[in-house]
Structure 1
Amino acid sequence: MTIDGRAVDAPATFGVINPATGEVAEQAPDASREQLDAAMASARDAYAGWRGDESARRKALLAAADVMFARSEEIGRILTLEQGKPLSEGTMEVVAAGVWLKYFADLELPREVIQDDGNALVEVVRRPMGVVAAITPWNYPLLLATWKLAPALLAGNTMVLKPSPFTPLSSLKLGEVLRDVLPPGVLNVVTGGDELGSWMTSHDVPRKISFTGSVATGKRVAAAAAPDLKRVTLELGGNDPAIVLEDADPAAIADKVFGGAFQNNGQVCSAIKRVYVPDSLYGDVVDALAERAKAVKVGDGMEDGVQYGPINNRPQYERVSELVADALAGGARAAAGGRPIDGPGYFFEPTILADIEDGARIVDEEQFGPALPIVKYTNVEDAIARANGTHFGLSGSVWGADADRAAEIAGRLECGTAWVNTHLALAPNQPFGGFKWSGVGVENGPWGLYGFTELQVVHRSKG
């Protein structure tokens, strides 16, 4: 672990499983309560010096980006080992982390003058909050850490970071490689299980919690933050709909729809989770997606040519297996896949489910894996209502030849991001957040930066 700029061992360890084998590959430190206290104290003590030099903060973020670029292959291998994604994608995740760091290093911290006359000079400025407790998930452990780290540090905050216990190794490495870039205490990395996360969210030092994970855990984080009114950003789950319009060309959209659903083996909060298709196109869309599902190569992410790795962990593997089995038992048809892959590891066939309706669990819930239900509709107004008929509201997409009509329908989706003829188009300057139960606040862009600041009015009288 990294505490106060130094490598620190824990009194105990826990096993980190390689999802391609199902076996323990490495051990990670299991932080004690006392070590968390030390990390929080270090971040608190580093805050005053860190917040006072904006130029140094920008230089440090640029240097951190350079480290990500230079060591992308090395850290990418760690990501593939613990997360399961293909090595090329693991490496690109590290590169993307560098891109996010570089973007925020150059982002302006606004200072707005709202009055400047003979009476007063009144400015609205952004001030840092203090210590940020950041808790990150297992699907993109390094990239989503930098979504929090980069804006928080630019704003002048310090951080204690806790990754998922399923994927702690890449974040431990992040803390290690940035020890020579960041002053001691600015970034502390601790690892452990759910109990460590509970200690963090109820700790009296942090003034902000930034959490990415499930809705259920996000609600517990919000409750833990309430007694001392910690600020929160919660990026939670999604059940993203894709609506295919009757003028769409199934052959033309199939690759993008499939990619939007199966990126990272479907383990993306904003991936397509259900597709609504008109009667007239239903068979063609199902066949086109099934053809692609049958053609892809699934395997160990360390092997050449693998396009999709395993599901990251056994609980998620069992959940996907259960949801698919439930759908098939309820009358759905597996146009492709439909079952786990025999052998070691948490591999599941890329699955396209047809002849399925709203009300099936895999349509109504977030599957977060390589299984996609295709639902038929006869009226687009009904499709919109069904797409919106959920507690989730992260993102969605509409697909059609008439882009203006598709955009009009996309604007009626109750979600944080509405795409037209694409999905999962993300960028560091584009805000990302959800409606309803899919989150509180946003990440990325200046809006994400503002989430790590407090507004202050500076009023200077001229009288």
Structure 2
Amino acid sequence: MPTTEPERVPDPGAAGFPVVDPATGEAFDEAPDQQPGELDTVIDRAQRAWSGWRADPAARTTALRAAADAVEAAGEDLARSLTREQGKPLAESHAEVARTAARLRYFADIAPRTRPIDDGRPVRSEVRWRSLGPVAAIVPWNFPLQLAASKFAPALAAGNTVVLKPSPFTPLATRMLGSVLAAVLPEDVLTVVTGREPLGARLVSHPGFRHVTFTGSVSTGRAVARAAADGPGYFFAPTVLVDVPPDSPVVTGEQFGPVLPVLPYRSLDEAVEAANGTGFGLGGSVWGTDLDRAEAVAERLDCGTAWVNHHAELSLAQPFAGVKDSGVGVAGGPWGLYGNLQPFVVHRPREA
């Protein structure tokens, strides 16, 4: 870990923006309105912290386990802050905090695997993995802590550092989460920045990031992709990165589109055709008394996850993938980890 003390992040001073209690419609607090110009220092510090963080996988595991414990210990304060600014019932906020800790603990205990390639040639080839560097993560207001952890937990486990921006509607619980994690993570490994636009636009187009991960609306997701593509030296394609210059970022996006009910349609074939003609693609549900028939219909849905006779059941170990307007990339499970890594291949002659 770095032993020299870098310069401090500029203090936003008195500049702030109001945070509104949705139950009353009145502002009850404010959050720092950090300006785009401050990002240079923040990202420079994240870049310098990366060298130490990526170098010691065992230390990362220990730190992420401690981070999960710290989130659980601060659960009451985090949940109350989340309910105050977001409006969900306190029990749901407690559940979100628990899922945040669980995701940290899950990714603390998985690691990328070296994969040998045996194709008959007289060489020994292995696919190995490297961290990407600083990651920009942007999350919406609906599940600010849970979605933040879905981004920073795999990124940190992969050896990257993260700069996290919450929605300006829900900045306070995320800032509290950042403070809780700062007590157990090395300095500048995870930084929370808050502010109104154009802070987010500058974040996703900043040349210091190698990976941009975003959850939000379809229109904003497209703007994020354009901003990353237009950055200096960037090359971005909607589903795959090809011939990527050394300084290009990976962009992962999750967006939500419409869900179409089956009931108005005359047949299941018509319903499936209509559903697949929409922009949705993150998840869909099929309900029926014949489970085999329902599963056959689910197989035909153009979506990332299909539930049969239930809905929204998720596991930390499963991929969470977008299709069409629901997004690009994969979160969850080992797939989420590998999405934060860069493969490289090592060849050597086979030993005699």
TM-score (norm 1): 0.69
Partner of 1:41: 44
Asked if 1:22 is matched to 2:25, the reply is yes
Asked if 1:276 is matched to 2:285, the reply is no
Do the aligned partners of 1:75 and 1:170 also contact (CA within 8 Å) in 2?
Answer: yes
Partner of 1:64: 67
The range that moved more, 82-91 or 229-238, is 229-238
Partner of 2:246: none
- Which runs of structure 1 show a deviation greater than 6 angstroms over 4 or more consecutive aligned residues? 4-8
Deviation per CA, 1:17-46, whole angstroms, max 9, x where unpaired?
111111111100001233211110110011
Do the aligned partners of 1:400 and 1:421 also contact (CA within 8 Å) in 2?
Answer: yes
Do the aligned partners of 1:132 and 1:159 also contact (CA within 8 Å) in 2?
Answer: yes
Asked if 1:95 is matched to 2:98, the reply is yes
The amino acid across from 2:20 in the alignment is I
Name the SS of the counterpart of 1:147 in structure 2. Answer: helix
Asked if 1:388 is matched to 2:276, the reply is yes
Name the SS of the counterpart of 1:377 in structure 2. Answer: coil
The range that moved more, 133-142 or 107-116, is 107-116
Asked if 1:221 is matched to 2:227, the reply is no
| Distance of aligned partners of 1:52 and 1:212 in 2 relative to their CA distance in 1, 3 Å threshold | same
1:331-342 to structure 2, matched below 5 A, reads none
Partner of 1:454: 342
Deviation per CA, 1:41-83, whole angstroms, max 9, x where unpaired?
1100111111000001111111111111111111000110111
Do the aligned partners of 1:14 and 1:27 also contact (CA within 8 Å) in 2?
Answer: yes
The range that moved more, 122-131 or 232-241, is 232-241
Partner of 1:134: 137
Residue-pair matches, total: 329
For structure 1, which runs of at least 5 residues remain unmatched after alignment? 242-274, 278-375
Deviation per CA, 1:386-421, whole angstroms, max 9, x where unpaired?
222212211111001111110000111111111100
- Tell me how far apart the structure 1 counterparts of residues 329 and 192 of structure 2 sit (CA, whole Å): 24
Asked if 1:431 is matched to 2:319, the reply is yes
Partner of 1:199: 202
Asked if 1:235 is matched to 2:123, the reply is no
Deviation per CA, 1:199-226, whole angstroms, max 9, x where unpaired?
1111110011000111101111111111
**What's the Cα RMSD here?**
1.8
- Tell me how far apart the structure 1 counterparts of residues 165 and 51 of structure 2 sit (CA, whole Å): 22
Do the aligned partners of 2:111 and 2:157 also contact (CA within 8 Å) in 1?
Answer: no
- Tell me how far apart the structure 2 counterparts of residues 235 and 14 of structure 1 sit (CA, whole Å): 27
Partner of 2:174: 171
Q: 1:409 aligns with which of 271, 276, 297?
A: 297
Q: What is the percent sequence identity of the aligned residues?
A: 51
The amino acid across from 2:304 in the alignment is G
Q: State the structure with more CA Rg.
A: 1
The amino acid across from 2:132 in the alignment is M
Do the aligned partners of 1:5 and 1:183 also contact (CA within 8 Å) in 2?
Answer: no
Asked if 1:421 is matched to 2:309, the reply is yes
Partner of 2:55: 52
- Tell me how far apart the structure 2 counterparts of residues 117 and 414 of structure 1 sit (CA, whole Å): 38
The amino acid across from 1:221 in the alignment is V
Do the aligned partners of 1:151 and 1:449 also contact (CA within 8 Å) in 2?
Answer: yes
Partner of 2:188: 185
The amino acid across from 1:10 in the alignment is P
Asked if 1:211 is matched to 2:214, the reply is yes
Partner of 2:239: none
The range that moved more, 5-14 or 210-219, is 5-14
Per-residue deviation, 1:118: 9.0
Partner of 2:122: 119
The amino acid across from 1:383 in the alignment is A
- Tell me how far apart the structure 1 counterparts of residues 221 and 298 of structure 2 sit (CA, whole Å): 27
Asked if 1:150 is matched to 2:169, the reply is no
Per-residue deviation, 1:187: 0.5
Per-residue deviation, 1:460: 1.9
- Tell me how far apart the structure 2 counterparts of residues 136 and 113 of structure 1 sit (CA, whole Å): 37
Partner of 2:3: none
Do the aligned partners of 2:18 and 2:31 also contact (CA within 8 Å) in 1?
Answer: yes
Partner of 1:258: none
- Tell me how far apart the structure 2 counterparts of residues 391 and 403 of structure 1 sit (CA, whole Å): 26
- Tell me how far apart the structure 1 counterparts of residues 77 and 9 of structure 2 sit (CA, whole Å): 19
TM-score (norm 2): 0.90
Do the aligned partners of 2:111 and 2:158 also contact (CA within 8 Å) in 1?
Answer: no
- Tell me how far apart the structure 1 counterparts of residues 287 and 7 of structure 2 sit (CA, whole Å): 49
Do the aligned partners of 2:36 and 2:198 also contact (CA within 8 Å) in 1?
Answer: no
| Distance of aligned partners of 1:8 and 1:18 in 2 relative to their CA distance in 1, 3 Å threshold | farther
- Tell me how far apart the structure 2 counterparts of residues 402 and 145 of structure 1 sit (CA, whole Å): 38
Do the aligned partners of 1:135 and 1:162 also contact (CA within 8 Å) in 2?
Answer: yes
Deviation per CA, 1:347-387, whole angstroms, max 9, x where unpaired?
xxxxxxxxxxxxxxxxxxxxxxxxxxxxx222221111222
Name the SS of the counterpart of 2:175 in structure 1. Answer: helix
Asked if 1:109 is matched to 2:95, the reply is no
- Tell me how far apart the structure 2 counterparts of residues 117 and 378 of structure 1 sit (CA, whole Å): 55
Deviation per CA, 1:279-338, whole angstroms, max 9, x where unpaired?
xxxxxxxxxxxxxxxxxxxxxxxxxxxxxxxxxxxxxxxxxxxxxxxxxxxxxxxxxxxx
Per-residue deviation, 1:171: 1.0
The amino acid across from 1:79 in the alignment is L
